[in-house]
Amino acid sequence: MRILPSAWLAIALSLLLLSGCRADPPRIALADLDFGLADAGSGEKLFNQSNNEAPACSACHSLAGESSGIGNSLAGIAALAGGRVPGQSAEEYLYWSILRPGQYLLAGYSNLMYSRYEEGLEPADLADLIAFLLTLD
């Protein structure tokens, strides 16, 4: 049986997309995040600074209405996040978007996001970062 070139292309693209999706569970469980104690001010600092070898979120994501060209704009993400994936809260959507960025790609964007943020974040850091993002109406 001979596989046509278009089938090979489809297979290659599928493997490329799947390579960005990690199957292992995150080191930090969503249940470990205490949003009641989260500090959006600390989250804003994390957003704007690199952490260990990880680039700052602001290196690729704008907080204004315009995209940076690399990552999507996060303006209004607080209002949008809860409706992006049916059955997920805004907190859960942002959690997965940070820890498994290839899981939810917006149309027009590739999976270029740094995929090891969880290695340099503690649960409180991640909760703070998500709390900050939830202030972006």
* Per-residue pLDDT reduced to its tens digit, 69-82: 788 899 999 999 99
Locate 135 and state its tokens.
Answer: 């202030």
Query: Domain locations in the chain?
Result: 5-133
pTM recorded for the entire structure: 0.81
Query: Is 12's pLDDT higher than 50?
Result: no
Fold of 5-133: Cytochrome Bc1 Complex; Chain D, domain 2 (1.10.760)
**Alpha-carbon dihedral sign for residues 5, 7, 9, 12:** negative
Calpha distance 128→134 (Å, rounded): 10
- What amino acid occupies position 94? L
Q: Are 57 and 97 in contact (CB under 8 A)?
A: no
